[in-house]
Amino acid sequence: MSRSGTDPVRAVPAIVRGVWNSPRLLLMGLLMAYRKTISPLYGPVCRFFPPVPHMLLKP
């Protein structure tokens, strides 16, 4: 803990957190776009249930 009593992880500026999370958010956006646009064209061809893109977006 720092001298001020706050958690150092929470003291990270919002801009740094935004830059740190941007690759994750980009990947999530690409997966959601795939699920909405390309995946319906192929139909239910995945042998796994639930499909892999669905599991990747699970928290």
Mean pLDDT, rounded, for 49-53: 71
pLDDT of residue 36: 87
pLDDT digits (tens, 9 = 90+) for 15-25: 787 788 888 88
pTM, rounded to two decimals: 0.55
Return the higher-pLDDT residue of 37 and 10.
37
Buried b / exposed e over 10-36, threshold 16 CB at 10 Å, is eeeeeeeeeeeeeeeeeeeeebeeeee
What mean pLDDT value characterizes the chain?
A: 76
Return the higher-pLDDT residue of 3 and 15.
15
pLDDT of residue 59: 65
